[in-house]
Homo-oligomer: A and B are copies of this chain.
Amino acid sequence: MLAELISIGDELLIGQTINTNAAWLGQELSLMGIRVKWVSTISDGESDILDAFDLAFKRADLIIVTGGLGPTKDDITKHTLVKYFNTRLVMNQVVLDKVEQFFKKRGREILEVNRLQAALPESCQVLINNHGTASGMWFEKDNKILLSMPGVPYEMKGIMNDYGFEKIKSFFNVQGLYHKTLLTTGIGESFLAKELSDWEVELEKEGLSLAYLPSPGMVKLRVSSYVGVSEKEKVGRYLNQVKDRFPAYVYGWNEDTLAKVVSDLALKYKLKLGTVESCTGGGVANEIVSIPGSSAYFEGSLVTYSYDLKTKLANVNPKTLEVCGAVSEETVIEMAVGGKKFLDVDFCVSISGIAGPDGGTEDKPVGTVWMAIAHSDGVETKKIKLGDNRQRNIQMTIFAALNFLRLTILEKIV
């Protein structure tokens, strides 16, 4: 049972919008045991859409189409569906009432184009949208399904969660793909692959498949079974062998983020956390508060971007700044210690670096970052060297700081 995702929209092709819909659907369908084998991104042109439908019906059993259902003229998916399935539009009263309510509730004037969103293909089953005005449309053909969804991620996800996935589950008798991912940091892909080569051979003998997924600062190891969830234990056993072999490098599983792992530690050991940030400008704090319930352990942060604020807020000695500079071990130590005291927390991370593209010197080139963690027993420090891309440097620093915090908590508390 194979699935194809068709994403419609010129904005995707010219890269003005990143295709997060396909990623999300891929994740959810995989978890249900449905194998997504193709994602086709095409333009808002009728002939391209028709060609894509033809090809998809040839090779896939389930086709999920996203995009092109808005009220404006460039949205042609609905009319193309009418043509492809040789049907006609009929006004759906239930949907019309919903659309009118939607506008009324928000105190916005309803337009004829909005009303027309309730005119839907006669031959489809309508999946009501409780989050917006474009309905989902479920078409059956030769025992295969084409499901058309709005392109706004929030609405698409809402309809899929409300009914889409349930309908797919009950229509198809799906074989369960199962996969689990181990998250590592601090170890290179090819080093891991060499160390694990015997293990990988064994894994493949057992019918499991392995993928290395490197991304900035980390390598994910995904083991999959096409037999399904019945091999959950076997998949887990193999990945645990890796975890036991490289305990310091493994920070989590599946969709874990470092912020979530750190948050779980803080909750478990009743620790208060805070940060004093310069080049990351509150990025570490922002990651931590993205986790629901973070007010239980996160107190707050000092974003001391200027020299003055480093002194005023984190009590850094102006002499230290003058002699050693803002990006130095001495300064991050004072920032962390001052911040710990001021914020009244158990662990305080401080960061100061040169994110670039300007501001580097021969001694301290762009990409030089110092960080420190103050805790009740003292201070740990760490220096990292990054490249010259500002955004990437900030992102990698946030990641490194969270991992440094995780390792320090594990060492000092657990």
Contact = CB atoms under 8 A, between A and B. Distances in A.
Contact of A194 (B111, B211, B285, B343): B111
Interface stretch (A12-20, A88-96, A369-377): A12-20
A193 B74 CA distance: 11
Contacts of A313: 300, 302, 313
Interface of A: 7, 10-20, 22-28, 30, 35-44, 48, 70-74, 108-109, 111, 113-114, 152, 154, 179, 181, 188-191, 193-194, 200, 209-216, 220, 222, 224, 275, 277, 279-286, 288-290, 292-295, 298-306, 308-309, 313, 343-344, 355-359, 387, 389-392, 394
Contacts of A23: 12, 15-19
B12 A308 contact: no
A30 B155 CA distance: 28
The main secondary structure of chain A at its interface with chain B is: mixed
Given A281-B289, A286-B283, A302 B300 contact: yes
A285 B40 CA distance: 37
B17 A19 contact: no
Given A20-B18, A305-B299, A288 B292 contact: no
9 contacts: A18-B20, A40-B40, A73-B210, A154-B216, A281-B286, A292-B356, A299-B309, A300-B306, A300-B313
Given A23-B15, A220-B16, A290 B298 contact: no
A224 B45 CA distance: 14
Contact of A191 (B39, B109, B305): B109
